[in-house]
Structure 1
Amino acid sequence: MSADVLTADIAIVGAGIAGASLAAAIGDRARVLLLEGEDQPGYHATGRSAAFWSETYGGPAIQPLTTASERALRAGGYLDPLGAVHVGRAEDARAIDALLAEFAGSSVELTAVDPRALVPGLRDDWSLGVREPSCAYIDAARLHGDYLGAAKRAGTTLLTTARLAAAERGGAGWRLTLADGRAARAAILVDAAGAWADPVAHLAGARPLDIRPYRRTVAQLATDPPVPAATPFVIHAGGGFYFKPEAGGRLWLSPHDEHPVVPHDVAAEELDVAVAIDRFEAAIDWRVRRVERSWAGLRSFAPDRLPVYGFAEPGFFWFAGQGGFGIQTAPAAAAVGAALLLGETPPSTIDVARYAPERLAR
Structure 2
Amino acid sequence: MDVIVIGGGISGVAIAYELAFDREVLVLEAEKSLAVHTTGRSAATWIGSYGPAVVRDFTAASHAYLIDPPFEVDGPVASPMACLWLGVNGRDDDVRRLVAETPAELVDGAEAEKLCPVLRPGAVRVAAWDETALDLDVMGLHHAYARAFRARGGTIATSARVASALREAGEWVVTTTAGDQFRADVVINASGAWGDVVGAVFGAERLRLEPRRRTIFQSPTNASLEGVPFTAGIDDGFYFKAEGGAVLCSPQDASLHEPGDPKADELEIARAIEAVNDVTTLGLRSVRTAWAGLRTFAPDGNPVTRWDEKADGFFWYVGQAGYGIQMAPALSQHAAALIRG
Q: Structure 2 length normalisation: TM-score? A: 0.94
- 1:111–1:132: 8 Å Cα contact kept in structure 2? no
CA distance in structure 2 between the aligned counterparts of 1:240 and 1:291, rounded to whole angstroms: 18
In the TM superposition, residue 109 of structure 1 has moved relative to its aligned partner by 4.2
- Is 1:272 matched with 2:268? yes
3-state SS, counterpart of residue 338 of structure 2? helix
CA distance in structure 2 between the aligned counterparts of 1:90 and 1:205, rounded to whole angstroms: 46
- 2:148 is matched with 150
3-state SS, counterpart of residue 251 of structure 1? strand
- 1:85 is matched with 84
CA distance in structure 2 between the aligned counterparts of 1:220 and 1:325, rounded to whole angstroms: 21
CA distance in structure 2 between the aligned counterparts of 1:216 and 1:19, rounded to whole angstroms: 21
In the TM superposition, residue 127 of structure 1 has moved relative to its aligned partner by 2.7
Q: Deviations over 1:191-234 (max 9, x none)?
A: 00000011111110000111110000000111121422x21110
- Is 1:311 matched with 2:307? yes
In the TM superposition, residue 67 of structure 1 has moved relative to its aligned partner by 0.7
- Is 1:260 matched with 2:256? yes
- 1:129 is matched with 127
| Residue identity matched to 2:325 | I
- Is 1:12 matched with 2:5? yes
| Residue identity matched to 1:37 | A
CA distance in structure 1 between the aligned counterparts of 2:177 and 2:324, rounded to whole angstroms: 27
- Is 1:37 matched with 2:30? yes
- 2:217–2:291: 8 Å Cα contact kept in structure 1? yes
- 1:176–1:184: 8 Å Cα contact kept in structure 2? yes
In the TM superposition, residue 122 of structure 1 has moved relative to its aligned partner by 1.4
Alignment of 1:191-202 (within 5 A): 191-202=189-200
CA distance in structure 2 between the aligned counterparts of 1:137 and 1:159, rounded to whole angstroms: 30
* Aligned equivalent of 1:221, options 219, 223, 226: 219
The 3 A distance-change label for structure 1 pair 73 and 113 is farther
In the TM superposition, residue 90 of structure 1 has moved relative to its aligned partner by 6.1
Percent identity for Structure 1 against Structure 2: 36
In the TM superposition, residue 279 of structure 1 has moved relative to its aligned partner by 1.1
In the TM superposition, residue 266 of structure 1 has moved relative to its aligned partner by 1.1
| Residue identity matched to 2:216 | V
- Is 1:110 matched with 2:105? yes
- 1:299–1:322: 8 Å Cα contact kept in structure 2? yes
CA distance in structure 1 between the aligned counterparts of 2:53 and 2:61, rounded to whole angstroms: 13
CA distance in structure 2 between the aligned counterparts of 1:322 and 1:246, rounded to whole angstroms: 25
Q: Deviations over 1:209-267 (max 9, x none)?
A: 11110000000111121422x211101011110011112x2111000110101101112
3-state SS, counterpart of residue 207 of structure 2? coil
In the TM superposition, residue 112 of structure 1 has moved relative to its aligned partner by 2.9
Give the length in aligned residue pairs. Answer: 330
CA distance in structure 1 between the aligned counterparts of 2:50 and 2:89, rounded to whole angstroms: 22
- 1:226–1:250: 8 Å Cα contact kept in structure 2? no
Alignment of 1:1-362 (within 5 A): 8-76=1-69, 77-89=76-88, 91-103=90-102, 108-114=103-109, 115-123=112-120, 124-228=122-226, 230-247=227-244, 249-313=245-309, 314-343=312-341
3-state SS, counterpart of residue 291 of structure 1? coil
3-state SS, counterpart of residue 218 of structure 1? strand
3-state SS, counterpart of residue 62 of structure 1? helix
In the TM superposition, residue 100 of structure 1 has moved relative to its aligned partner by 2.1
| Residue identity matched to 1:153 | A
| Residue identity matched to 1:315 | G
CA distance in structure 2 between the aligned counterparts of 1:128 and 1:178, rounded to whole angstroms: 54
**Mean Cα deviation higher: 82-91 or 256-265:** 82-91
CA distance in structure 2 between the aligned counterparts of 1:293 and 1:122, rounded to whole angstroms: 24
Q: Deviations over 1:94-117 (max 9, x none)?
A: 2112212333xxxx2433343112
CA distance in structure 2 between the aligned counterparts of 1:312 and 1:89, rounded to whole angstroms: 42
- 2:273–2:285: 8 Å Cα contact kept in structure 1? no
In the TM superposition, residue 289 of structure 1 has moved relative to its aligned partner by 4.8
Gaps of 5+ in 2: 70-75
- 2:88–2:233: 8 Å Cα contact kept in structure 1? no
CA-based RMSD: 1.3
In the TM superposition, residue 121 of structure 1 has moved relative to its aligned partner by 2.5
| Residue identity matched to 2:6 | V
In the TM superposition, residue 80 of structure 1 has moved relative to its aligned partner by 1.0
In the TM superposition, residue 27 of structure 1 has moved relative to its aligned partner by 2.4
